[in-house]
């Protein structure tokens, strides 16, 4: 089933007097949403009993929870010690995900440091291969690692690069951030055909199964010549991309993605807008 939900706690969640993630599944139910992404952007800091209690609430209301691994992970690092730390951040995220009872962990792959792009990509692929081996060893075969397309040209994570990364393991799937892809190339999504090109490329590159269950991040994002500047809300009419044609493409292709809205503060409302737009065409 296709799922829609917010990333992090939105302004309206806080304004409604909610303070704890345990209250999130009920909030999702009240807003006809299906899922939630918990961000460990600044580090994996959660106690097992807290995470287990949150997970129990999600299970009770039949809502799904995913996690976002720390933003400072860089799998393109040459230094062994840093690589080991990166691996630890990933496996700490997977441990927390397991306590939550979730299935998906999103990661930002990394950026070249001093190497040229191809060499950096080679290092990253080597590091990711190790992640695949460890993931199996540690018993996380059932967890999906979602590799994200990134918003700045300097970052590794073009659509082609993410497709390449996904080839390393059956549990590595794409996290297609359409706002990032749009910002990276200074505005590329306007019509259904623009989105279809991405889906067709994924079908070719990672296959039907992974495309069907892909992870999606969506928000409108301001960009400059180098790509992403900041996340906006759906009220923006300048930068885009528009969500409506993408919802039509999801419906037409019969895809079942996990769609997370990353709007700045209005992610609950905007996830609802996407959901309604999708069900207006999918009957």
Binding region for Zn ion (CB under 5 A): 148
Task: State which residue, 148 or 161, has the beta carbon closest to Zn ion.
Answer: 148
Instruction: Give whichever of 57 and 148 is closer to Zn ion, judged by the CB atom.
Output: 148
Residue 14 CB neighbours (<10 A): 11
Nearer to Zn ion, 148 or 194 (CB): 148
| Closer of 8 and 187 to Zn ion (Cβ) | 8
From the CB of 117, what's the least distance to Zn ion, in Å?
20
Is the CA virtual torsion 193, 197, 199, 200 positive or negative?
Answer: positive
What DSSP character marks residue 23? G
- Identify the three-state secondary structure at position 106: strand
Q: 139: helix, coil or strand? A: coil
Joined tokens for residue 281: 């065409």
Q: Determine the residue with CB nearest Zn ion.
A: 148
Q: What is the smallest separation between the CB atom of 68 and Zn ion, expressed in angstroms?
A: 6
Strands (E), 161-268: 172-177, 215-218, 221-224, 227-231, 258-261
- In whole angstroms, how far apart are CA 18 and each of 9, 66, 95? 9, 20, 26
Minimum separation from the CB atom of position 261 to Zn ion (A): 12
Task: Compare residues 174 and 248 and give the one whose CB is closer to Zn ion.
Answer: 174
Q: Give me the least distance between CB of 216 and Zn ion, in Å please.
A: 11
Helices (H) and strands (E) in the chain, counts: 11, 10
Taking the complex as a whole, the smallest distance from the CB of residue 29 to Zn ion amounts, in Å, to: 25
């Amino acid at each position: 089933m296709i799922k829609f939900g917010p990333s992090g706690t939105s302004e309206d969640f806080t304004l409604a007097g909610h303070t704890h993630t345990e209250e999130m599944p009920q909030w999702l139910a009240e807003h006809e949403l299906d899922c939630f992404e918990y961000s460990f952007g600044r580090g994996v800091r959660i106690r097992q009993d807290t995470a287990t209690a949150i997970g129990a609430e999600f299970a009770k209301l039949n809502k799904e929870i995913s996690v976002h691994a720390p933003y400072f992970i860089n799998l393109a690092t040459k230094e062994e010690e840093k690589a080991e730390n990166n691996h630890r951040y990933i496996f700490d995220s997977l441990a927390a995900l397991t306590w939550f009872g979730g299935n998906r962990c999103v990661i930002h792959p990394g950026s070249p440091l001093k190497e040229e792009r191809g060499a950096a990509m080679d290092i990253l692929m080597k590091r990711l291969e190790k992640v695949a081996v460890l993931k199996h060893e540690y018993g996380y075969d059932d967890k999906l690692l979602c590799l994200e397309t990134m918003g700045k040209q300097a970052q590794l994570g073009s659509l082609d690069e993410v497709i390449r990364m996904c080839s390393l393991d059956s549990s590595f799937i794409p996290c297609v951030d359409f706002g990032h892809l749009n910002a990276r190339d200074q505005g590329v999504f306007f019509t259904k055909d623009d989105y279809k090109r991405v889906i067709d490329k994924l079908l070719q590159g990672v296959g039907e199964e992974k495309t069907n269950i892909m992870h999606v991040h969506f928000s409108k994002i301001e960009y400059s010549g180098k790509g992403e500047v900041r996340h906006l809300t759906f009220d923006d009419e300048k930068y885009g991309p528009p969500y409506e044609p993408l919802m039509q493409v999801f419906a037409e292709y019969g895809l079942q993605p996990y769609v997370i809205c990353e709007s700045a503060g209005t992610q609950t409302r905007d996830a609802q807008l996407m959901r309604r737009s999708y069900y207006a065409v999918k009957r």
